[in-house]
Amino acid sequence: MAIHKIARMGHPVLRKTAEQVINPTAPRIQELIRNMVETMQDADGTGLAAPQIHVPLRVVVFFISYDADAGNTDEKDIPLTVLINPTIEPLSNEKKLGWEGCLSLPHLIGKVPRYTEIRYRATAPDGSQIDCIAKDFHARVVQHECDHLDGILYPQRMEDLSLLMFRDEMRYGTPE
């Protein structure tokens, strides 16, 4: 296993459309996943997409701890989840604003509109199919991570860039 350097905004790998994984159960994909998980945990992140460690493949990892994030209104933790070749379908047109950070934009935080309810499908590392309905913060994390696979960073989803801030400056209060 290895902890990888994380690409930051401006690196071309973050602007690329990532490629489909042909064989999700291949040993090199399993190794990629282990490295992604280790890198995410080392960086204290909630999620990580393969392009963020300079690998342009459609793989994301995430987990959600309700205790650690007040934005998770589901009130249930989502264990470590790996999505290979994920697709997302919004289940309604409703979007809500919520704060997001990203390991590729260190120290920054922004208020981003996201669909509040989605269905996502993907292949799991064991080759089985994932088909899941997600709401609120869980839905937000999946949309954020899957955007990385299409070369999109969260500021590109923002409608009001005055809500793109350095995390440190939030001690002066957060705009609602």
Kindly list the catalytic residues: 145
Please state the closest distance from residue 146 (CB atom) to Ni ion, in A: 10
Q: Which stretch binds Ni ion (CB under 5 A): 17-25, 27-35, 71-79, 98-106?
A: 98-106
CB-nearer residue toward Ni ion: 102 or 112: 102
- Classify residue 54 as left (phi > 0), alpha (psi -120 to 50) or beta: left
Helix, strand, or coil (residue 88)? strand
Smallest distance, Ni ion to C-beta of residue 23, A: 26
Could you say which DSSP state residue 57 is in? B
Which parts of 99-158 interact with Ni ion (CB under 5 A)?
102
Q: Which residue is listed with tokens 């490629």? A: 19
Euclidean distance between CA atoms 117 and 148, whole angstroms: 19
Q: Binding-site residue total for Ni ion (CB under 5 A)?
A: 1
Q: Where are the alpha helices (DSSP H) in the chain?
A: 27-42, 136-149
φ, ψ dihedrals at 104, nearest 5°: -90, -5
For Ni ion, the closer of residues 25 and 113 by Cβ is 113
Closest CA to 9 of 144, 141, 143, 103: 103
Task: Indicate the residue among 102 and 109 with the shorter CB distance to Ni ion.
Answer: 102
Minimum distance, C-beta of residue 2 to Ni ion, in the bound complex (Å): 20
Residue 101, Cβ neighbours under 10 Å: how many? 16
Write down the least CB distance from residue 42 to Ni ion, Å: 15
Q: Is 6 near Ni ion (CB under 5 A)?
A: no
Strand 78-90 to 59-64 pairing: antiparallel
Nearest position to Ni ion, beta carbon: 102
The smaller minimum CB distance to Ni ion, of residues 26 and 68, is found at 68
x/- track of binding to Ni ion for residues 38-77 (CB under 5 A): ----------------------------------------
Q: Residues interacting with Ni ion, by CB under 5 A?
A: 102
